[in-house]
Amino acid sequence: MTCREGLAGRLPGSLATIAAMVALLAPCLLVAACSRTAAATAESRESSLSGPSGAVDLKPTPPEDCGPGLKLLREAAEAGSTVSYQGVEMVSTWAVTGDSTMIADVWHRSGGSTLVQAALAGAVSPARQAGISDDTDSQAPEGVLGVTAQLVSLLGADYDLSYEGPGSADSRPAQMVEVWREDGSLAARFWLDQETKLPLRREVFDSSARLIGEDVFIDLKLGAAAAAGTPTVPARDVTAGAQLTAVDLTNMRARGWPVPAALPDGLSLFEAGEAPTRSGEVLDLSYSDGLFVVSVFMQRGDLPAKLTGWQKITLDGRNVYTAEPDQRSITWAGQGFVFTVMADAPPATLNQAVDTLPYDPPPGFWGRLSRGFGRLASWANPFR
């Protein structure tokens, strides 16, 4: 402030007025430039996935640095990998299908492994142990509390980010970043550790400003104290799957794999991979707008007659199965594929994503009879 007053005192009055106007308009111009950059980035990403060449990598193009909000979130994504931390993570969701709360002990070593021991809580028996899900890959998971480098890039492209000043989370000083939709509604709010920028808390809102998700770290330890308490888990003997490019996906579409380039609600395909299993190749597709993520797993085949542990429900007129009790996992069969969808997204977004993928409706009485006679005829055909 002192510097600005000195400069104004040396300039003539008109120049001072112009300088003041420029100073006032600069944030607006900056926001406009950011919006244009974000729109161009989104358009570029969309065209790269749906274009005929498909030679562009699936990774979203990071938008230019538009402000402190995006910068802080980028630092937070990096901190999720480089900072050693240990604590209890509590994930709560509020949905029409039911509320759920999940608690997990999390250990992460700087640049190394992340161990998660999750136990369901809330409406479900808190004693139920999901077991340790260890991952010895130094790159995975990429971040924490939904803050990864790729998702932050998407977030900067699809939303407006703003730095809201200091705050507090888990009794630690924090910096707050808010995520806003184009219609002016608040989409999410992040609390980042002031010292390390590690995400401490996240709140997610629907378009009606209703809180639908909250991720919180409790009893967090950082640095050497966290690294010292990390349990040792033997590494899994796994063979890494393959990451797919847009060209690979184009080839897979030509072979009949129904790979959507995007899902409704602005969810674009930003990551794809495949992994071998005993029952065949599994295609793993990830769609997101930076805030909500929908993973689609598809595999050739059909569901067995009975799915133990799954509950049959009707979703928008479709007969699907949901994994009890979270109802964030949906599976069904259609056109020779088994689809499994997992979502960190509102139910409406999940429903629209499910509607996008193939589905075989029940044949009905006559259809079923016709199909059965057709099969009998094929058996009796000596020339087949």
Partner 1 sequence: MSHLGRNLSALVDGELSPAERDRAHAHLAACQQCRAEANALRELKKRMRGLPDAPVGDALTRRLMFIGEPGGPVPLRGRRRPLPRAVSGRGRTRHRGRYVALGAACVVAGLSVTAFSLGGSPSVPGPRVTPPVEMYSVEHAMTTGEIPFSGPAAVPGPEIAGSSQVP
Window 155 to 214, contacts with partner 1 (CB under 8 A): none
Q: Residue 265 interacts with partner 1 (CB under 8 A)?
A: no
Residue 58 exposure: Cα atoms within 13 Å on the Cβ side: 21
- 34 vs 147, beta carbon nearer partner 1: 147
Our CA dihedral for 133, 89, 346, 274, rounded to 10 degrees, sits at -20
- Min dist CB 293 to partner 1, Å, is 5
- Min dist CB 43 to partner 1, Å, is 23
- Min dist CB 225 to partner 1, Å, is 21
Q: Residue 138 interacts with partner 1 (CB under 8 A)?
A: no
Q: Residue 94 interacts with partner 1 (CB under 8 A)?
A: no
Residues in Cβ contact with 31 at an 8 Å cutoff, skipping those fewer than 6 apart: 66, 160
Euclidean distance between CA atoms 277 and 340, whole angstroms: 15
Looking only at residues 5 through 34 of this chain, which bind partner 1 when binding is defined by CB under 8 A?
none
How far CA 273 is from CA of 57, 242, 278, in Å, comes to 13, 6, 17
- DSSP one-letter code for 185: -
Looking only at residues 288 through 327 of this chain, which bind partner 1 when binding is defined by CB under 8 A?
293, 295, 297, 299-305, 307-310, 323-324, 326
Asked whether the beta carbons of 272 and 295 are under 8 A apart, the reply is no
- Min dist CB 95 to partner 1, Å, is 13
Q: Residue 146 interacts with partner 1 (CB under 8 A)?
A: yes
- 4 vs 375, beta carbon nearer partner 1: 375
Query: Quick count: other Cβ atoms within 10 Å of Cβ 245?
Result: 16
Q: Residue 75 interacts with partner 1 (CB under 8 A)?
A: no
Task: Describe the crossing of helices 68-82 and 149-158 by its angle, rounded to 10 degrees.
Answer: 170
Q: Mark residues 109-128: x for contact with partner 1 by CB under 8 A, - for none.
A: -------x-x-x-------x
Residues in Cβ contact with 99 at an 8 Å cutoff, skipping those fewer than 6 apart: 92, 93, 122, 123
Among 34, 38, 121, 145, contact with partner 1 (rule: CB under 8 A):
145
- Min dist CB 80 to partner 1, Å, is 6
- Min dist CB 303 to partner 1, Å, is 7
Helix (H, G, I), strand (E, B) or coil at 381: coil
